[in-house]
């Protein structure tokens, strides 16, 4: 790929992408997909491969990514994978990482390392059908960033703030997303 790389990001491609979206807003419309099959007990397996975006069906993935989900024994599973709410923490950190690194590259900041620790508090009463007052999902999530980069701390803090405003997964978690669930006929 031509163009200067910073943090493993092709900065020219980033600029080109922004300009392409400015010229044709439809390029920014994406539709992501997943297919999940239940296996046994708490164990299911998700396949992720194609998506629509930038005006066409993506063909870059020659085989699907496989993600297994399961529960630990204390939650009646067999530990075949991280559970669903742990996968949410992964999704959040992975999103913040991309946002931080891409925006750092756009600002000419070299990132040496970047890490996240996440924790989420959840009360099982609702899942077990024992309360309709306690919410089923996380009551709160705490994220801690660790960053080493060639920029002063105030610039890093400002970048973190910007990333929070523009992170797709943080928005999905912090704000309501309409979800329709339908049984195939």
- Asked if residue 2 binds a second copy (CB under 8 A), the reply is no
Instruction: Report which secondary-structure segment, H or E, holds 148.
Output: strand 138-149
Largest CA distance in the chain: 58
Among 2, 4, 24, 60, which residue sits at the site for a second copy (rule: CB under 8 A)? 60
151 binds a second copy (CB under 8 A): no
The number of residues that bind a second copy (CB under 8 A) is 128
For residue 91, state whether it binds a second copy (rule: CB under 8 A).
Answer: yes
Question: CA dist 72 to 53, 78, 118, 128, Å?
Answer: 36, 6, 19, 16
Q: How far is the CB of 2 from a second copy (least distance, A)?
A: 13
The backbone torsions φ and ψ at residue 148, rounded to the nearest 5 degrees and listed phi first, read -125, 115
Residues between 93 and 122 that touch a second copy (CB under 8 A): 93-103, 111, 113-122
d(CA 92, CA 86): 10
What x-and-dash track marks residues 16-35 binding a second copy by CB under 8 A? -xx--xx--x--xxxxxxxx
């Amino acid at each position: 790929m031509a163009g200067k790389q910073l943090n493993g990001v092709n900065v020219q491609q980033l600029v080109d992408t922004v300009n392409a979206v400015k010229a044709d807003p439809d390029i920014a419309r994406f539709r992501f997909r997943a297919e999940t099959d239940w296996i046994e007990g708490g164990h299911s397996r998700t396949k992720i491969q194609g998506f629509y975006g930038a005006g066409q069906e993506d063909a870059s993935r020659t085989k699907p990514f496989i993600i297994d989900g399961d529960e630990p024994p204390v939650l009646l599973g067999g530990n075949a994978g991280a559970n669903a709410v742990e996968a949410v923490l992964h999704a959040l950190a992975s999103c913040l990482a991309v946002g931080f690194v891409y925006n750092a590259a756009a600002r000419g900041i070299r990132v040496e390392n970047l890490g996240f620790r996440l924790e989420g508090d959840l009360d099982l009463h609702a899942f077990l059908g024992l309360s309709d007052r306690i919410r089923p999902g996380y009551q709160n999530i705490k994220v801690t960033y660790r960053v080493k980069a060639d920029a002063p701390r105030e610039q890093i803090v400002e970048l973190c703030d910007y990333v929070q405003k523009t992170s797709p997964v943080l928005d999905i978690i912090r704000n309501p997303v309409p979800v329709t669930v339908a049984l195939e006929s």
